Amino acid sequence: MISSLDGAATGAGGTSGGINNDADHRVFETLRRLCDVVVVGAGTARDEGYEDIGKPLVLVTRKAEVPAQLRDAERGSVLVATCETAQHLDEARELLGDEQVLVLGRDGVDLAALKATLAERGWGHQLGEGGPHLLRDLVADGVADELDLTWVPQLLGGDHPRITVGADVDVALRLGLLLEDAGTLLGRWLVRRD
């Protein structure tokens, strides 16, 4: 995740790409290289222009909607984690195949079940790339183990979203690592389980 010093998670264009820099790109690419699977909210995948990333990509969505730019992805590279009441469930199954559509909950996606299901497929090292609603839910549900956060040395003002959006959540973290590169702070925070 990335944030300006005044808490903006997106730049003027409404995406994180509007505020990230070389240091953030290096960390982002390293985290992707080390993971087994990437988990991201479908809205974030759509807004940020996600395409084939060379790793399995799991879209978390209550609607089972697959963003247009991922509809032609190589078979098996995109999965959908959704719920029984998803509006586009049949369409997702037809597009991706039944085995690529994970129905994990009635009205919402059970994120603990998602984590376990992905681990059963051999994807134990799971990287959550947001967006703000999914990050909030991963933390609130006790599914996230750490938060990798870049602070860029910018002030943006305005009405930009923060890295978490949604109902209040109070989860304690402890600092695992903090690095600095030309004014950019790169932090790894570990979720406290005590």
Tokens 């903006």, residue located: 8
Residues 37-55 have a mean pLDDT of 96
Model confidence at 107: pLDDT above 90: yes
Residue 119 predicted with pLDDT over 90: yes
By the 8 A CB rule, do 36 and 19 touch? Answer: no
pLDDT band at 94 (very low <50, low <70, confident <90, very high): very high
The side-by-side arrangement of strands in the sheet containing 2-4 is 2-4, 146-152, 184-191, 173-181
DSSP string, 14-43: SSGGGT--HHHHHHHHHHHHH-SEEEEEHH
What is the pLDDT averaged over residues 60-75? 96
Beta bridge partners of 103: 82
Three-state SS letters, 36-96: CEEEEEHHHHHHCCCCCCCCCEEEECCCCCCCHHHCCCCCCCEEEEECCCCCCHHHHHHHH
- The domain limits of the chain are 1-35+127-194, 36-124
Q: What SS3 state is found at 82?
A: strand
What are the structure tokens assigned to 189, written together? 């925070």
Confidence of residue 60 (pLDDT cuts 50, 70, 90): very high
- Tell me if residue 90 falls in helix, strand or coil: helix
Residue 129: the pLDDT is 98
Q: Which of 3.40.1280.10, 1.10.10.10, 3.40.430.10, 3.40.50.2000 would CATH assign to domain 1-35+127-194? A: 3.40.430.10
16-28, pLDDT tens digit by residue? 999 999 999 999 9
Query: Which residues are bridge partners to 65 per DSSP?
Result: none
Please state, for a pLDDT cut of 70, what percent of the chain lies above it: 100
pLDDT for residue 12: 87
Task: Read off the pLDDT of residues 123-167 as tens digits, 9 standing for 90 and up.
Answer: 999 999 999 999 999 999 999 999 999 999 999 999 999 999 999
Over residues 73-97, mean pLDDT: 97
Domain 36-124 belongs to what topology? Answer: Dihydrofolate Reductase, subunit A (3.40.430)
Count how many Cα atoms sit within 13 Å of the Cα of residue 15 in the half-sphere of its side chain. Answer: 12
| Burial zone of 155 (CB within 10 Å; 0-12 exposed, 13-18 middle, 19+ buried) | exposed
Q: Do domains 1-35+127-194 and 36-124 have the same CATH topology?
A: yes
Which of 44, 56, 108 shows the shortest CA–CA distance to 82? 108
Site of tokens 């390293």 = 30
Q: What is the pLDDT of residue 35?
A: 99
Average pLDDT of the residues of the chain: 97
Residue carrying structure tokens 């956060």? 149
* pLDDT at residue 194, as a whole number: 81
What mean pLDDT do residues 159-176 have? 96
